[in-house]
Amino acid sequence: MREASAPSLAPVDPLIRLSGVSKTFSTGTRAVEAVDLDLMPGEFLSILGPSGCGKSTLLRMIAGLGAPTGGEIQWASGHGGGSRYGTRDLGFVFQDPTLMPWANALDNVALPLILEGAAKREAQAAARDKLALVGLAGFESAYPRELSGGMKMRVSIARGLVTEPSLLLMDEPFAALDEITRHRLNHDLLNVWRDVGFTAVFVTHSVFESVFLSQRIVVMAARPGRIVSTLDVGAPYPRDEMFRTSSSYASLCRQASDQLKTAMGG
C-alpha cells in the first residue's frame, strides 16, 4: 500500500530510524513504548493522537531533549552529528511561540545562528531571508508583544528554519490559533515545505490538520504511548482549499478519525 502511494520513498535510506524507542519517567509513567519509525528524507509526517499519549515526549527525544530509556534513535550518516557548527541538524517549533520578549523578530530568528557562533551580520541576513519566507518581511523590528498569535508562530517557524536543518519538528504549533489563522498557516507551511524541501514531523491532535498537511499519518494511543496504525495520504501537492472541500479529503478524514477512535479504545 505504501509503495503505491509514495513510490519515491522506497529505495531511499531513512533520515532517522527509531527502533524500539521507549521512555518511562521516574514517576513510572510509560510515556512512549517500543516505537519503530523511519523518517524518510523530505517527507511530511504527522503524529496524530489524543493528548497525553506521548507525542511531545517522542518528538523531544528525536530532538535530543531527554534520552530514551530504551531503544535507539539513529541518524543517517552526515546528519545526526550536526550542521556546520556541530549542533543537531534540526529545528524545533514548540506549541507556544517561545520567543524572547526582549528581542525583536529579527534577533529572535537569528538566535540559533548566534548560538552556533555565526557573526551577527551574517546571522541577521539569514534571519531576514527566513522572515520573508514565512511572509513577515517588514516586521523585522517588531517585538513579540506587538505581533498577533499567528505572526508569532510564523517567527517561531522562521527561527526553526534559519539553520537550514534537514528536519523540522513541530509540536502542535497551531493548536492555540483560531480556525482561519490556522488554515492560512497550514497552507503557508506547505508552501514553505515544498520550497525548502526539509523533512517535516508535525504533531497534532486534529484529524483535519493531519490529513491536509501530510503524506503519512502515524496514529498513537495512550497508556502506554505507542503507535497503533499508519495512514498514507496519497493526494498530490499543491493542496489548497479545493482539496479541503474534496470528497477524497472527507473520506481520508473519516479513515483517520476511525483509527483515532480505535486508538482511544472505542
Partner 1 sequence: MSSPRTAKTTTSDLGPLPTASARSNDRWLKLAAPFLVGIIFLGGWEAAVRIMAIPPYILPTPSRIIETLVSDWPTLAASLRITLAITFSALAAAVVVGGALAILFTQFKWVELALFPYAVILQVTPIVAIAPLIIIWVNDTNLSLLICAWIVAFFPILSNTILGLNSADHNLRNLFELYGATRWQTLRYLRLPAALPYFLAGLKISGGLALIGAVVAEFVAGTGGTASGLAYRILEAQYQLKIPRMFAALTLISLAGVAIFLATSIIAHRLLHRWHESAIKREN
Ligand X SMILES: Nc1ncnc2c1ncn2[C@@H]1O[C@H](COP(=O)(O)OP(=O)(O)O)[C@@H](O)[C@H]1O
Q: Is 88 in the site for partner 1 (CB under 8 A)?
A: yes
C-alpha span between 164 and 209 (Å, rounded): 25
Cell of 202: 508535525
Q: Does 144 bind partner 1 (CB under 8 A)?
A: yes
In order of 84, 106, 134, 140, 191, the CA distances from 129 in angstroms are 19, 10, 9, 10, 15
Of the candidates 167, 93, 96, the one whose C-alpha atom is nearest the C-alpha of residue 134 is 93
Angle between helices 179-196 and 149-161 (to 10 degrees): 20
CB-wise, 93 or 252, nearer to Mg ion? 93
Binding mask 98-137 for ligand X (x = CB under 6 A): ----------------------------------------
Euclidean distance between CA atoms 25 and 22, whole angstroms: 10
210 lies in the site for Mg ion, by CB under 5 A: no
- CA pair distance 118, 112, nearest whole angstrom: 9
* Contact flags string 68-87 toward partner 1, x per CB under 8 A: -----------------xxx
210 binds ligand X (CB under 6 A): no
CA distance 83 to 85: 6
- 44-63: which residues touch Mg ion (CB under 5 A)? 56
Residue 53 interaction partner, one of partner 1, Mg ion, ligand X, none, beta carbon < 5-8 Å per kind: ligand X
Q: Which of 94, 202, 212, 249 binds partner 1 (CB under 8 A)?
A: 94
Binding mask 223-262 for ligand X (x = CB under 6 A): --x-------------------------------------
Residue 130 to residues 97, 124, 135, Cα–Cα distance (Å): 16, 10, 9
> Could you tell which of ligand X, partner 1, Mg ion, none binds residue 29, using a CB distance below 5 to 8 A set by kind?
ligand X
User: Cβ 232 to partner 1, closest distance in Å?
Assistant: 30
Q: Using CB positions, name the residue nearest to ligand X.
A: 56
The nearest distance, CB 113 to partner 1, in angstroms, is: 9
> Is residue 31 involved in binding ligand X (CB under 6 A)?
yes
Q: How far is CA 110 from CA 81, 136, 141, in A?
A: 22, 14, 12
Nearest to 171 by CA among 95, 64, 88: 95
The continuous run of DSSP H or E covering 29 comes out as none
Binding site for partner 1 (CB under 8 A): 60, 63-65, 85-88, 90, 92, 94, 96, 98, 100-103, 111-112, 114-116, 143-145, 163
Binding site for ligand X (CB under 6 A): 25, 27, 29, 31, 49, 51-57, 225
